[in-house]
Amino acid sequence: MKKIILAAAATLLATFGLHAQDTLLKPDHPDTYTVQQGDTLWDISGRFLSMPWYWPEIWQVNPQVENPHLIYPGDRLNLVYVDGQPRLELERAPTAYRLSPASDNRLGPSVRREPIDTAIPAIPLDAINAFLSRTRIVGPNAFRGVPYVISGQDQRILMGAGEKVYARGDFREPLPSYGVYRPGPVYADPYTGEELGQQALDVASVDLRQLDVDNANSEFAVATLDVTRSSRDMRLEDRLLPVEERAIAALFQPSAPAVPVDGVILGVEEGVTQVAKYDVVAINRGLREGLEPGNVLAIYKRGATVRDRIARQNVKLPDERAGVLMVFRSFEKMSLGLVLEAEKPLAVMDLVRNP
């Protein structure tokens, strides 16, 4: 009898697992799809799956394809069933190459082959490019005592790429290059009051040209700097920080967090309070809570509190699911995410949870 019960339970679990896999697929999913220029992994996942963050569950790695995790325009994705489970297999398109002069020093004529197409990103990288490459979350005291911009060329107060600027501060250990940042809000956890970090909004990159003694303060110097890149107008009092060296994980895959997540949206770029699709938001959960780049979170509107006139009590209405975001950068106590779906108007202090 024990064996019969165990066998029945195993059959039931297998049937449940198959059903769970099938429910991942959208009713109108295609059987094949050819990747187009401008596609993102999130877009393609949404064509096949009702919950795009379950992409890793159906992605079938093809050992005969070099770099099977990278998908290029022209590749074909075929929906197949392996042991009764839905899987997507990759059929690589012929690679188109660009010919250019070789970069070696050989005397004879030669050419270099370079693939024309690049792998599609997980999400629209142009929407978060500045955040992927420069903007960061720093400690609350990171801007204390660092050099700052005091003037532009010809005493201008707004500066940009290709111009000369002047900064004043402690340059006793000068660096050849600096990042220019604008101090943003200091974020605190709304539940515990813990300080989580401060936004350092990317402004520009500068190269050090020369240093001159500051007559007003012997510990300071006045630096002349060349602006090599700018993402927004540089202003007086913008701060100089060492350039951050780090790898950029731009080809992450959408996935559900491996741990329970219950957080809130703390802020939006440029200090606005309303949140829309493709806005970058800061949330109060980070690496220490197990969040990683690629993790997808559901956004919930807080339920309003209304008055029950009959019972004469205040009643909180249920929180309502209203959008989806994907984490693209995690810090120790916070993360930055891109809003991929917004079914209702969103705002700072809306909730983020497991999808």
**Residue found under tokens 């220029």:** 37
Q: How high is the pLDDT of residue 6?
A: 43
| DSSP letter, residue 295 | B
Name the residue among 333, 7, 25, 13 with its Cα closest to residue 194: 333
Residues 6 or more apart whose Cβ sits within 8 Å of residue 193:
none
Please state the φ and ψ torsions of residue 62, each to the nearest 5 degrees: -95, 110
- Write out the chain's pLDDT in tens, 355 residues: 444 444 444 443 333 343 444 568 989 899 999 999 888 888 888 899 988 888 878 887 666 666 767 888 999 999 988 888 888 888 888 765 555 555 555 555 555 545 555 788 877 777 676 666 677 899 878 999 999 999 998 888 899 999 999 999 999 899 999 999 999 999 999 999 999 999 998 899 999 999 998 888 878 999 999 999 998 899 999 999 998 765 555 556 788 999 999 999 999 876 677 888 888 899 999 999 999 999 999 999 999 999 999 999 999 999 999 999 999 889 999 999 989 999 988 999 999 999 9
Q: How high is the pLDDT of residue 227?
A: 96
Side-chain-side CA neighbours of residue 340 (13 Å): 27
Strand-pair partners of 274: 347
pTM beyond cutoff 0.85: no
Please give the Cα distance from 237 to 157 (Å, whole number): 10
Q: How high is the pLDDT of residue 221?
A: 94
Got the DSSP string for 70-83?
A: ---TT-EEEEEEET
| DSSP letter, residue 25 | B
Q: How high is the pLDDT of residue 268?
A: 86
Residues 6 or more apart whose Cβ sits within 8 Å of residue 203:
180, 181, 182, 230, 231, 232, 233, 234, 235, 238
Which of helix, strand or coil describes residue 126? Answer: helix
Yes or no: say if 42 and 340 are a contact pair by the CB < 8 Å rule: yes
Q: How many residues does the chain have?
A: 355
Please give the Cα distance from 214 to 103 (Å, whole number): 46
Please give the Cα distance from 120 to 137 (Å, whole number): 27
Whole-number CA gyration radius for the chain: 26
Q: How high is the pLDDT of residue 101?
A: 59
